[in-house]
Amino acid sequence: MNLQSDVCVVGNGPIGKVTALGFAQAGLSVSLLVPPADSPLAAAPPAADWDVRVYALNHVARALLSSVRVWNALDAARIAPVDAMKVHGDAVQNPGMLGFDAYSARVGALAWIVEDSNLNQALDAALKFASNLHIVTGRASRLDMNAEMATIELDNGDSLTASLLVGADGGHSWVRGQCDISIDYRPYGQRAVVANFESEHSHHGVAYQWFTSEEGIIALLPLPGQRVSLVWSAPDALADTLLSEPRTHLAQRLSALPGHQLGQLHPFEPEIIKAVPLALIRPHAITAPRVALVGDAAHVIHPLAGHGMNLGFSDVASLLKTVAARGPGRDCGDPRVLGRYARARKEEILLMQVTTDALERLFATDFEPLRVARNIGLNLVNRLPVIKRQLMSHAMGKLR
């Protein structure tokens, strides 16, 4: 079998699914290649347990999900708006503090905390009803590209041919590797430890973050009700301890953090905890002949800003817009179209890569003069409303 389409998307995460939906709803023929065990058509029903993997989706992400009619299909009872954020430094005396709030930004919310399962279930439901879209279950074995098309050969002998191939297959992208796109790779020696807790007091929609030099970066994100989600970017040795110790010990660690008003924390039942290795991955290009990369295939950044998924959704929004404006006589994989996409994404991707990497380096050192300086910097920015508004606007995706 050879399936021909305008666009072929490789990947079965939220980024790949929303890319396929966006192109299909734009009237293009689309094929979505997913691994055999990850077919979205076999999605499980919603679980009663809370997912430990969550995303802080910004306004660009919400606008994109709304445009493909997925946002209103999410389970709203499991979404928590972020009304404010408090960032704490690590000085023993005069620790830095930086606060943001939706009221000052003149918006209803800074972001929305959405579970991975909630997002995927809504996307899977939309995929079932999308016209012009074929979901192909299989494993890619080879990629051929020429001036007119890209062809993926599957290990069962079938093939997929498209004018544009979109690699949305994650940080270890098979598509990127087949295009011989080199990468800069730097492991952080950290893992993102994630778990959920119940809090003694209401979080009032506040997200908390602590920058420490010895224990990494800790974030507590609001969930519906008196629940919070932990994302702890912990050094590997500490991550081993957090994963092995009883969840009640971890809850005590979090309850002792300064500045929050959550009271005592208690682990959810069942007590689920997971960890993901962290690294910076910088591909030298996000396009190749007939190929565009989006999401983690195009960039992997430190999660300290919570914008990895948002950066991917911005990729998708930009690619959809660029292809829609390609003009008569040009197909969606035309080199000029891909060149415009690469130029449109260059600045934002580079800014986020440099910013998150620099912040991680800045707060990873325990050199005392630098510790004092960075905490003074947090307090200074907190007193400058113009700079704070610019930071909030960029974080929400409003600068475009």
240 and 92 within one domain: yes
β-sheet bridge partners, residue 217:
211, 233
- Count the domains in the chain: 2
pLDDT in tens, 25-51: 999 999 999 998 765 544 444 456 899
Residue 93, pLDDT score: 67
Give the whole-angstrom CA distance, residue 194 versus residue 97. Answer: 24
315 and 258 within one domain: no
Provide mean pLDDT across the span 90-119: 88
What does the DSSP assignment read for 336-379? HHHHHHHHHHHHHHHHHHHHHHHHHHHHH---HHHHHHHHHHHH
Q: How confident is the model at residue 383 (pLDDT cuts 50, 70, 90)?
A: confident
Q: Which domain holds residue 325?
A: 2-68+117-184+279-359
Q: Which residues contact 254 (CB under 8 A, 6 or more apart)?
A: 197, 218, 220, 230, 265
341 and 235 within one domain: no
- Residue 253 belongs to some domain of the structure: yes
- Residue 73 belongs to some domain of the structure: no
Asked if the model's pLDDT at residue 398 lies above 80, the reply is: no
91 and 235 within one domain: yes
Provide mean pLDDT across the span 351-359: 90
Residue for token pair 């998307």: 9
- Residue 128 belongs to some domain of the structure: yes
177 and 36 within one domain: yes
Give the whole-angstrom CA distance, residue 154 versus residue 157. Answer: 5
320 and 292 within one domain: yes
Q: Which residues contact 237 (CB under 8 A, 6 or more apart)?
A: none
Asked if the model's pLDDT at residue 96 lies above 90, the reply is: no
154 and 55 within one domain: yes
If DSSP codes are grouped into helix, strand and coil, which group holds residue 25?
helix
Q: Would you mind telling me the total number of residues written for the chain in this entry?
A: 400
- Residue 75 belongs to some domain of the structure: no
Q: What is the CATH number of the domain that holds 248?
A: 3.30.9.10
Q: How confident is the model at residue 173 (pLDDT cuts 50, 70, 90)?
A: very high
Which of 223, 248, 267, 226 minimizes the C-alpha distance to 116?
223
241 and 209 within one domain: yes
- Residue 17 belongs to some domain of the structure: yes
| DSSP secondary structure letter of residue 51 | P
| Residue 124 structure tokens | 């899977």
- Residue 59 belongs to some domain of the structure: yes
pLDDT in tens, 106-123: 899 999 999 999 999 999
pLDDT in tens, 331-340: 999 999 999 9
Which of 193, 276, 188 minimizes the C-alpha distance to 229?
193
